[in-house]
Amino acid sequence: MSTYVGTLRRSRLYDSSTVGMVGIIIGVVACIVAIPPVTARSLVWPVLLGIVAMLFGIVAVSRGAGRVGWGAIAAGILGGGLAALAMRSSVSNLDQVFTASLIASMLVFATPLTFGALGGMFSERSGVVNIGLEGMMLMGAFWGIWGADKTGSWVWGVLIAMLSGALLALVHAFFAIHLRADQIVGGVAVNFLALGITGYFFVQLYHGNNVPTGVSQIPDVKLTSERSNSFFAESFGHLNLMIWIAILFVPLSYVVLFKTPIGLRIRACGEHPRAADTVGINVYLVRYGSVILSGILAAMGGAYLTVGYLNTFNENVTAGRGFIALAAMIFGNWRPFGAFGAALLFGFSTALAFRLPVYSSNAATLFQALPYVLTLIAVAGVIGRTVPPAADGRPYKKQ
C-alpha cells in the first residue's frame, strides 16, 4: 500500500516537472527562432512561444514543481525578451555576429574558466572551499608574464605562474587545514592579498606601465594552413596551445577524480573525512595536495590570459574570471564535464557580448552579466539540483 502511494506521488511530481522542463525548452526556442539560421522576422512567434513557456511554467508551479516551473517562467520572459532585442537588428548584422570564429573566441574565453573550474573542483572535492580562485588566477597572470619577460621563454613563464599559484594556495591551505580558519573568510583574504601583491609588484617592477612588448608568447597550434577559411579552420585551425591543454585536462580530471585511487581518496576526504581517516587516508595531506593543485590550475588559467592571449598585464587583469570559474564549477555540479560545459556556455556568452556591439552596444554590456544570472538560477536549484561535497567547507580535526 505504501509503495503504491509512493509511486503515485513520484509519478505526479515527475509529470509536473516534465511540464516545467518543456516550458524551459520552449523558452529557449523562443530565443532561437530570432537568430540565424531561422531568423524569424516577426515579433509574433517569440512572444507567443514565450507566453506558452510561461503558461507551462505556471501549470508546473501549481502542480508542485516550483523550481522548474519558475525556471520555465523565467525562460519564457528571457527568451521572448532576447528574441525581441535580436528582432530589432538587421539579418546581415546577425550573420556577422554568429560566425564560425565565434566558436574559436568562445574557446578563448572559456579556457581560463576551464582551468579555474577544474582547480576549484579538486579543492572542493577534497573538502576545502576555494573562493580564492580569482586571486590564484591573478597571481598566475602576473608572475607568468613576469617570468616570460625575465627568462625570455614562455615555458618558464607558465612554470613560474604555476609556482606562484601554488604558493598562494599553500597560504590558503595552511589557514584552512591546519589553523581551521573559516575557509570563505580565508578565500576572500587570499583574493585581497593577490590583488595587493600583483598590484604592488607591477608598480615596483614595471612602474605600473605596460609590460614591454614582444614578451615570449605561448604558441598557437596550427592544424590547417593560414589561408584556409573553412568552418573547421576558422573554429579550431589555430588555437592556442593552452586551449588544447585545457580541453585535454577535462577528461584527464574526470579519470583522476573518478577512476583512480587518488581520486577516490580526494572525494572521500570531501564527503566524510572521519571515515577517510579511519581507513588510513591522510586527510591533511590529501587536502593540502588538492588545494595546491587547484592553485596551480587556476594560475595556469591566469598565465594563459596574459602569456597566451593578451601578451601584457594590467592591474586586476582577471576581472572576476576566477569568480565565473567558481560559478562554472557550481553550475557543472562539481564535475569535470559539467564544469567544462558551463565554462563553454559562459565563454560563449562573453564571446557573444563582444560581438553584439555590431548592432546594439547597450544590450552587449548587459549580456556580460548572463553567467552570473545563470549561476544564480542554478544555485537556486532550477536546472537540476547542485549538490556540493558533504564536508565542503568543514575543517577536519585529527583525533
Partner 1 sequence: MSEPLAPQHGKPPGDLAQAPPTTVASRLAAWQKAGGIVVPILTAVLAFLIGGLLVLATGHNPFQAYWDIINGAGLNWLAHPTNTDVANTAAYNFSQTLLQTTPLILTGLAVAFAFRCGMFNIGGNGQYLVGLYCANWVGISFVNMTRPAHVLLGVAAAAAAGAIWAGIAGFLKATTGAHEVITTIMLNWVAYWIGNYIFQQGGPLQGATNKPLNIPISGDVAQSARIPVFWGDADLQGLHIGFFFAILCLVLFWLILSRTTLGYEVRAVGYNPDAAAYGGIRVRVNYVRAMAISGAFAGLAGGIDMLGYLYHYGTTDVQAASIGFLGIAVALLGRNTAVGVGLAAFLFGGLLYGTTHGLQSGTIDPSLAGHLTEMIQGLVVLFVGADVLILAVWNSRRKIRRRQPTAQQQQQTAEAAS
Closest CA to 210 of 312, 319, 305, 317: 312
Q: How far is the CB of 319 from partner 1 (least distance, A)?
A: 8
State the Cα–Cα distance between residues 198 and 210, nearest whole angstrom.
Answer: 14
φ and ψ at residue 112, rounded to 5 degrees: -60, -35
Please give the grid coordinates belonging to residue 269: 576526504
Count residues near partner 1 (CB under 8 A).
Answer: 50
CB-wise, 250 or 326, nearer to partner 1?
A: 326
Please give the grid coordinates belonging to residue 58: 505556471
Closest CA to 128 of 6, 250, 303, 290: 290
Give the per-residue contact string, 61-90, with partner 1 (x = CB under 8 A; - = no).
Answer: ------x-----------------------
CB-wise, 49 or 391, nearer to partner 1?
A: 391
Which residues are paired to 222 by β-bridges? 238
Q: Is 347 in the site for partner 1 (CB under 8 A)?
A: no
End-to-end CA distance of the chain: 47
* Span of 6-14, 239-247, 336-344, 370-378 interacting with partner 1 by CB under 8 A: 370-378
State which of residues 197, 221, 241, 264 lies at the interface with partner 1 (CB under 8 A): 197
Closest CA to 187 of 310, 326, 296, 83: 326
CB-wise, 295 or 308, nearer to partner 1?
A: 295
Q: Is 275 in the site for partner 1 (CB under 8 A)?
A: no
Q: Is 327 in the site for partner 1 (CB under 8 A)?
A: yes
Q: How far is CA 143 from the centre of its chain?
A: 22
Q: Is 340 left (phi over 0), alpha (psi -120 to 50) or beta?
A: alpha
Q: Is 209 in the site for partner 1 (CB under 8 A)?
A: no
CB-wise, 237 or 301, nearer to partner 1?
A: 301
CB-wise, 303 or 327, nearer to partner 1?
A: 327
Interacting positions 166-195 with partner 1 (CB under 8 A):
171, 175, 179-182, 184-186, 188-195
User: Is the Cβ–Cβ distance between 299 and 164 less than 8 Å?
Assistant: yes
User: Is the Cβ–Cβ distance between 350 and 112 less than 8 Å?
Assistant: no
Footprint of partner 1 (CB under 8 A): 67, 131, 171, 175, 179-182, 184-186, 188-197, 199-201, 203-204, 208, 320, 323-324, 326-327, 330, 361-362, 365-366, 368-369, 372-373, 375-376, 379-381, 394-397
